[in-house]
Structure 1
Amino acid sequence: MLALSITLAACAKTGPRQEVTRADFGDEQIITDFTMGPPGARPGACYGKDVTPATVEQVTEHRLVEEAKIAENGNIITPAKYETVTEARIVEGREQIYFETPCPPRWTPEFIASIQRALTARGLYADYPHGELDEATRQAIRTFQISEGLNSAILSTESARKLGLVEIDLS
């Protein structure tokens, strides 16, 4: 099994005040520069950026290739010929989604172990809480969030609140 870990790297400067930091999860990213986040992004907030998968359905159709030949008395001389065609059709395309996520300074081994313990308590994570953001942890995060309507392996701030891992903003 391929273990994945967060790799943080400074990508670019947005000016003298801030570095852009991203954690790369393939199509998924954590973005700390609000100017690269969604429209209306809050300054100081971090965002998860993910791409939802396309929804594809397989459609099988029987298409008429040749009409039946029928005699004048109504008897079938040659039956109709059909072909079976199966096609993949995109029902919903891929879509970029953004959501708030805890910022990278919080992603310490202790925080990740807390995520693992919280997911273990809910029966979603079976490994020992070791503090590494591996594939099993990411899959458990995704499983938890799917039930909340978010299909991503990046922990959203809302999910972190529901797991009891971050403070609730009362303002």
Structure 2
Amino acid sequence: MTTHRPRTRRYVGAGLALALLAGCMESYATRSDQSISASQTIGPLTEPAVVNSADGTCFARATTPAIIETVTEQVLVQPAVVRSDGSVQSPAAFRTVTRQQILRERREVEFETPCATVQTPEFIASVQRALVARGYYRGAINGTLDPRTSAAIERFQTDQDDVHTGQLTLKTARTLGLVALPRGEL
């Protein structure tokens, strides 16, 4: 005769485990929200600090991803055995080894950027036109910082050795000829 008691116990045990897990998650979320201040969060600053209101420059923060390269190579395990007459008795044995190599670490960068008051739709349209003239952007000139525009900015930044964020940096804006250089850099 078969009883169904063991199954019931398993379901009760699983339900109890889920309840405990949910309680842990809830308390962790509450604790983490209380202990993290605005200066400790990772990602773009919510309100960039104005550096110089005359220039209209602000700071922004972004996390650049790591660049990882996968290298695959053949490693000699056993050399070929060659007879005295030059014929191969047994061919060489190789093993394929795949490894990942970090070319650039993930890092958080802080950079100067034109302030939000400067980045009007007309200014963004000028950025788009400047990127079209240089062959980096092929979208509509609509004055919005959409994903296509951000991707074009990032490609341009990569070629100019600027931070690769997709956000408009002050260096990128100056290179595009959209923001005047300070007197000391002329």
The two structures have a TM-score, normalised by structure 1, of 0.62
Query: Are 2:145 and 1:133 aligned?
Result: yes
- 2:167 and 2:133 map into 1 onto residues whose CA distance is 19
- Tell me what 2:166 maps to: 153
Shift of 1:123: 2.2
Structure holding more strand per residue: 1
Match of 2:95 among 67, 83, 91: 83
- 2:158 and 2:166 map into 1 onto residues whose CA distance is 9
Kept in 1, the 8 Å contact 2:58–2:115? The answer is yes
RMSD (Å) for aligned C-alpha atoms:
3.6
Q: Which has the larger radius of gyration?
A: 2
Match of 1:122 among 109, 119, 134: 134
Match of 1:165, as an amino acid?
L
Shift of 1:156: 1.0
Question: Aligned with 2:173: secondary structure?
Answer: helix
Query: Are 2:116 and 1:104 aligned?
Result: yes
Change in Cα spacing, 1:95 to 1:78, as seen in structure 2 (3 Å) is same
Change in Cα spacing, 1:160 to 1:28, as seen in structure 2 (3 Å) is farther
The two structures have a TM-score, normalised by structure 2, of 0.58
Shift of 1:103: 0.9
- Tell me what 1:165 maps to: 178
Match of 2:174, as an amino acid?
R
Deviations 1:76-135 (A, max 9, x none): 987665422212222321122221000112222121111111212222222221111111
Match of 1:95 among 82, 91, 107: 107
- 2:48 and 2:73 map into 1 onto residues whose CA distance is 49
State how many pairs are aligned.
141
Query: Are 2:44 and 1:29 aligned?
Result: yes
- Which consecutive unaligned segments of at least 5 residues does structure 1 have? 1-19, 21-26, 35-40, 70-75
- Which consecutive unaligned segments of at least 5 residues does structure 2 have? 1-38, 82-87
Change in Cα spacing, 1:138 to 1:28, as seen in structure 2 (3 Å) is farther
State the identity as a percent: 40
- 1:123 and 1:57 map into 2 onto residues whose CA distance is 28
Structure holding more helix per residue: 2
